[in-house]
Amino acid sequence: MAMMNPVYTSRQDMLDEVITLGEEIVASSNLEVLRENANLNGESFSGKMSKFGSEYAKWYANHFVMPKPLVQAIQDNIVYVHDLDQYAIGTTNCIFIPFDKLLREGFNTGNGSVRPPNSIMTAMALVAIIFQSQQNAQYGGVSANKLDHDLAPYVTKSFVKYFRKGLDYFEEGDSAADYGLITMARSDLQAQYPRAFKYAVKETESETLQAAESLIHNLNTMSSRAGGQIPFTSINYGTCTSIEGQLVISSLLAATMRGLGSGETPIFPIQIFKCKQGVNQQPGEPNYELFLKAAECSAKRLYPNFANLDAPLNLMYYDPANPDTEFATMGCRTRVLSDRFGRNHLSGKGNLSFNTLNLVKLGLEHGIALGLRQTADEQGFYRELEHYMDIALDGLLHRFRIQSSQKAKASDFMMREGVWEGGEQLNPEDTVGELLKHGSLSIGFIGLAECMKAMYGKHHGEDADVYKKAYNLIAFMRDYCDRQSERHNLNITLFATPAEGLSGKFTKRDRADYGEIPGVVDREYYTNSFHIPVYYNISAAKKIELEAPFHGLCNAGAISYIELNGSARSNPAAFLRIIQYALSQQVSYFSINHPIDRCSGCGYEGIIGASCPSCNASEQDVHIRRLRRVTGYLTGDFQTRFNAAKQAEVRDRLKHST
C-alpha cells in the first residue's frame, strides 16, 4: 500500500468516510453528489454504480496519490482538481478525433474490425461508433473538429454509386465506364447524362439527410461508461465549400431542426459552426447561406454555437489549405491549437487535465469585503495567487507523470487506432508519455467577478478601473502559464473553466467559512470564469465588449454567452446581428442562450409561462419541459437534472431583453 497521505491521520476517520460514501449513494441521500454532473442520472442503478466507483477513486487519490500541498489546497478550498476520480489511474481528458483517417483506413474497436465505409449512411453510422469507442478511453469530451471535411468523400461515394445506377436505369450510358473523378460538381456529366445525374443528386441528398438524422439519434441514445451517460460529443463544421461538404452541413442542420422522435430538441451532439470571413460571413461567400441556416437552427435549438476563426489567437494558426488548423472546440469550450512541439493542428490530441483556482477566496483574504482593511492588499493577493498556481501546476505535472507512465493498452482504441496521433506506432506495453506531450495542461479559474467585488467592492462590469485590474489579473495568470510552458517544455495553458459541478462547491465552503457577504458570497454559485455576472443588468453589446479581451488571454478556451428572453426563433435578424457583433469584437467562441420550453400536452415549443399559450393547459396538469444550457452542454430539464447551484444560476440570469 502506498504511503498514507499525512493530511489524514486517523484510520477510524478514514473508515467512517468510506462507509458514509457508500451509504449516501445507496440511499440517494446526498443530491449534490448525485447531481454533480447534469448528464448523468445519479439516482439510476447504473448511475449509482458509477458513483460508487468514482467516489471511492476520489477518496483514494486524496489519501494515497496526490501531493500533499495539493490536497491541502483542495481542503483550503482554493484549488479544485477536475475529474479527480480519474487521477490515480492516469486517464486523459478530451480529444479531437481524426475521423478522416479512421474512416479512410478502417478501424478496430477491439471486438472486431470495420472496413472503410462506401456510403455517407455508413460513414455517419461509424462516426457514432467511433465516438462511443473513444469515449470509454478518457473522461472528458470527444469532438469532431471538421466533420464536413471528413464526411464529404463519403457523400461523393454515395453519389458515384447512384450515378452509375442511374446510367443503367435510364439507359443513358455505360455504368461501368471510366468517367474520371465523378463528383456532384461535374456539370459536364450533368449536361450529358441529365436523368442519371438528377437521380443521383436526389438520392444522395435524401441519403445524407437520413444519415444525419440517424447520427443525431444515435448520439442521443447510445450509452457509454457502463450505461452511466451518453457520450459527450461535439461536432464542428461550416467551412467545407465543396457541394458534398455543403450537403453534410445543411443535412446536419436540417436534422437538428427537425429534432428527435417527437420533435424535441436534441441534447447531443453539441454543434459548433465555424465562422470565417471569405467563407461564410457575408452574402456572396460560398457558405453564407449555411451560416444563415446555422443561425436559424441555433435560434430553434440553442445549437450550433459559433467559433470565430478570425479571432487573432485562432487566425495565427489558420492555414486555408489545411482544415485541421481551423479553430474548433469541445462543446464546453476547450481549445487546443498551438503545440510547442509543432503539431499546430487539432485532431489527434486534446487536453490532458485541468485544475481550477477559486479566485473569490483569494479576493476575500486580501480584499476589503471582510471589513478588515481599507484598501485591497494587492501584493499579498498576487503572492498567494502565484503560490497556489504553483500548487495547481505541480498537481498537473504530477498527474501528467501518472498519465505518461500508462501503457498503450490501457487506452486501447485511442492508441492502437491512432485516435491520439502516433498511438498506432506504439506496442501495447509501451508507455504513452512521449505522445501525450502534444496535449495541454491547463490552469482554470472561476469567480473573477466576485473576486473583484471582494477586493475592491465592485466587479469588472461596474467600474472601468476595476475592469483594468481584472484584466491585469487574468493577464498575469496567462503570463504565468507561458513562463511555465518554457520552463517545463510542455503546453501549459490558461482556461476559462466551465464550472458545472464546481460552481456551487467553492461557494458553499466559503459561505460556511466567511458567512454571507453581499455581492460576493450571497448566491449559491460563483460566476463562471471571467463572465460579467448573469444577474447584472448590462446591455448585450456591452457584455460582449467587456468579455471579448479575455478570450485572447484564455488560450485553453473560453466562451461568452448572451441571454435572450423571448422567442428567438421568430427573430433571426436579432440573432444574426448579435452573433456577428460578437465575432467582430474578437470573441473566440460564442453562443446565445434563450429559453426553450416544451408543452408535453400539445408539443408546442417556445416560451411557456404558467400555462401553454397554444393549448392553454396549466403547468399543474401537464409537464412543461424547460430546456436550459449549462456550461456549454444542454440537459434534458434543468429542474430535475441540474444541481442546486446551477438551478439558482438559471433563475438569476438577467435577460438582455424584456
Partner 1 sequence: MNICGYYPESINEGEGLRAALFISGCRHYCKGCFSPATWNFLYGEPFTPEREQEIIRDIAGNPLLSGVSILGGDPFFSAAEVSAFLDRLREAAGAISAWIYSGYTFEELTRDAKSPEYGLLSRCQVLVDGRYVDELRDPSLLYRGSSNQRLIDIPASLSQRGIVEWRPTFSF
Q: Which residues bind partner 1 (CB under 8 A)?
A: 292, 296, 299-300, 539-541, 564-578, 581, 606, 613-614, 656-658
Q: To the nearest whole angstrom, how small is the minimum distance from the Cβ of residue 255 to partner 1?
A: 16
Counted residue by residue, the chain has a size of 658
Q: Is residue 154 packed enough to be buried (19+ CB in 10 Å), middle (13-18) or exposed (0-12)?
A: buried
Q: What is the distance between the alpha carbons of residues 63 and 2, in angstroms, rounded to a whole number? A: 9
Q: To the nearest whole angstrom, how small is the minimum distance from the Cβ of residue 297 to partner 1?
A: 9
- Cell numbers 505522445 correspond to 435
Q: What is the DSSP string of 261-301?
A: TTSPPP--SEEEEEE-TTTTSSTTSTTHHHHHHHHHHHHHH
Q: To the nearest whole angstrom, how small is the minimum distance from the Cβ of residue 543 to partner 1?
A: 10
User: What ranges in 457-587 are assigned the alpha helix state H?
Assistant: 464-488, 502-514, 540-553, 572-584
Nearer residue to partner 1 within complex by CB, 119 or 308? 308
**Cell representation of residue 442:** 491547463
Q: To the nearest whole angstrom, how small is the minimum distance from the Cβ of residue 389 to partner 1?
A: 37
**Cell representation of residue 541:** 453589446
Q: What is the distance between the alpha carbons of residues 500 and 641, in angstroms, rounded to a whole number? A: 12
Among the listed residues 394, 400, 397, 424, the one whose alpha carbon sits nearest the alpha carbon of residue 412: 424
Q: To the nearest whole angstrom, how small is the minimum distance from the Cβ of residue 657 to partner 1?
A: 4
Number of neighbouring beta carbons within 10 Å of residue 627 = 20
Nearer residue to partner 1 within complex by CB, 519 or 606? 606
Nearer residue to partner 1 within complex by CB, 75 or 570? 570
Nearer residue to partner 1 within complex by CB, 64 or 581? 581
User: What ranges in 515-539 are assigned the alpha helix state H?
Assistant: none
Nearer residue to partner 1 within complex by CB, 382 or 581? 581
Q: To the nearest whole angstrom, how small is the minimum distance from the Cβ of residue 31 to partner 1?
A: 35
Nearer residue to partner 1 within complex by CB, 295 or 441? 295
Q: To the nearest whole angstrom, how small is the minimum distance from the Cβ of residue 590 to partner 1?
A: 13
Q: To the nearest whole angstrom, how small is the minimum distance from the Cβ of residue 470 to partner 1?
A: 22
- Nearest-Å Rg of the Cα atoms of the chain is 25
Q: To the nearest whole angstrom, how small is the minimum distance from the Cβ of residue 283 to partner 1?
A: 11
Q: To the nearest whole angstrom, how small is the minimum distance from the Cβ of residue 201 to partner 1?
A: 25
What is the maximum alpha-carbon separation in the chain? 90
Nearer residue to partner 1 within complex by CB, 376 or 564? 564
| Bond from prior residue into 269 cis (ω within 30 degrees of 0) | yes
CA atoms within 13 A of residue 643's CA, in its CB half-sphere: 24
Nearer residue to partner 1 within complex by CB, 76 or 296? 296
Q: Which residues of 403-422 are buried (b: 16+ CB within 10 A; e: fewer)?
A: bbebbbebbbbbbbbbbbbe
Q: What is the distance between the alpha carbons of residues 16 and 23, in angstroms, rounded to a whole number? A: 11
Q: To the nearest whole angstrom, how small is the minimum distance from the Cβ of residue 551 to partner 1?
A: 18
Number of neighbouring beta carbons within 10 Å of residue 391 = 23
Nearer residue to partner 1 within complex by CB, 250 or 406? 250
**Cell representation of residue 596:** 426553450
Cα three-residue angle 643-647-651, rounded to 5 degrees: 170
Residue type, 9: T
